[in-house]
Amino acid sequence: MEKKGALVNINQKLTLAIMLGLCLNFNVMGAEQASEQSAEYISLTAGVQPDQRPAGAPIITEVAKDKEWYKRAETGLQPPFSPSLSFLLYQGNWFNPFIRAGMLGKYDIRGWHNQAPQAVWR
């Protein structure tokens, strides 16, 4: 009986060693890939030298705002629109919480969450 028990114990240890080796191998491969991606990300981050735009950084040359964009931006608003909404004319491709759904319940004063689900808008 002890031989069989010892054999099972050896098999368990061998299996554990193989699994550990595979995990370490995948971690090394993952770390190499992650460092390549982070190096690419860092090269495009302006925060390293905020007074200089990195060479090769993407440049937005055009902002496409079609009727659907304005329809979404005007969600929950009723005409006539306030002149204070003229900022939408100058809105670029940066984040603006005004044109995205916010909190739920009583805080959803524009009714963003009461609508039928739509495709993800970016």
Distances (CA, A) of 5 to 9, 28, 117: 6, 35, 59
Average pLDDT over residues 87-115: 87
Query: How many CA within 13 A on the CB side of residue 36?
Result: 5
pLDDT bucket at 25, cuts 50 / 70 / 90: low
pLDDT at 7 over 70: no
The single-letter code of the amino acid at 33 is Q
pLDDT at 66: 92
Against a cut of 0.95, is the pTM above it? Answer: no
pLDDT at 60: 82
Average pLDDT over residues 54-70: 86
